[in-house]
Amino acid sequence: MTIASLATILNQARQNNQAIAGLVVLGWEDITAFIAAAEAENMPVILQAGPGCRAHTPIPVLGAMFRYAAERASVPIVCHLDHGYEIQEIEEAIQSGFSSVMIDGSKMPLSQNIEITGHVVSIAHRAGVSVEGEIGIVGYTDGLSSQGTEPDEAARLARETGVDALAISAGNTHLQTQASAIIDEVLVDKIAQRIECPIVLHGGSGIPHSVRRRLARKGLVSKFNIGTELRQVFGSTLRKTLDEDPNIFDRLTILKTLQAPLCDATRHIIANLK
């Protein structure tokens, strides 16, 4: 299957009142489980390499892994660099075969965010690569506080940079272990009316499934980033495996026990967004 463009699959999803799952990858076992789930649901997915993943595995290795798996999948797969902060790593991702990159200038003043995002768009689009930008600060459960996105600022950034997707802050928070976020759906709607590109919500694990589904069905949010929710499945299954067999030690044998639970949980996420 052809590796997919983020712009293409998100625009198709929005037209169909669906959303696509942006799945945070930390290793090969994640990739295989996520693609198996996507194929079972006959839906595209976005494989995402965030800063934590990149600290563990070099970008060229991730690019090769993502592309190898995507080229053999029966559904469209986007190979996406999540939360890129430096031009150098964006360029390395493009050279390594990623089909989509995110430039996160959300902590910068608006003018600087527009400048760096526009620069990344010019570089990426020349290479046929999609770009996700971000405006408004999506905080962390035990760290930086969130700051909601201003609709006028979102409209200006989208208009002046030509991004293919825009991540916003509307009550969502990274690394939430409970689906308890209260999303300002009125704000999301206001932003959606002001910009032409699809909207992304990071911190999707903290958003109740019913809210994700409603925002997708209304055509307001086209991509939800999901990481913590699936890492919890990974961790709980790993503990169960080790508790049930204290003599197990082989890495591959242990990791094989994670595939079915990860795939099942991912299928539930994907199906909810259809």
Q: Which residues are marked as active site? A: 82
Nearest-5° angle of CA 71, CA 27, CA 244? 125
Residue type, 211: V
Residue type, 268: H
Strand 199-201 relative to strand 130-135, pairing = unpaired
Residue type, 46: I
254 membership: H or E segment, kind and range: helix 251-272
> 43-78 as b/e, with b when 16 or more CB fall inside 10 Å?
bbbbbbbbeebbeebebeebbebbbebbeebebbbb
Contact yes or no for 80/102 (Cβ under 8 A):
yes
68 membership: H or E segment, kind and range: helix 59-71
Contacting residues for 186 by C-beta, under 8 A, at least 6 apart: none
**Number of C-beta neighbours around residue 160 at 10 A:** 15
Residue 170 to residues 68, 106, 154, Cα–Cα distance (Å): 35, 13, 12
Biggest distance spanned by C-alpha atoms of the chain: 59
Contacting residues for 216 by C-beta, under 8 A, at least 6 apart: 13, 17, 18, 19, 222, 224, 273
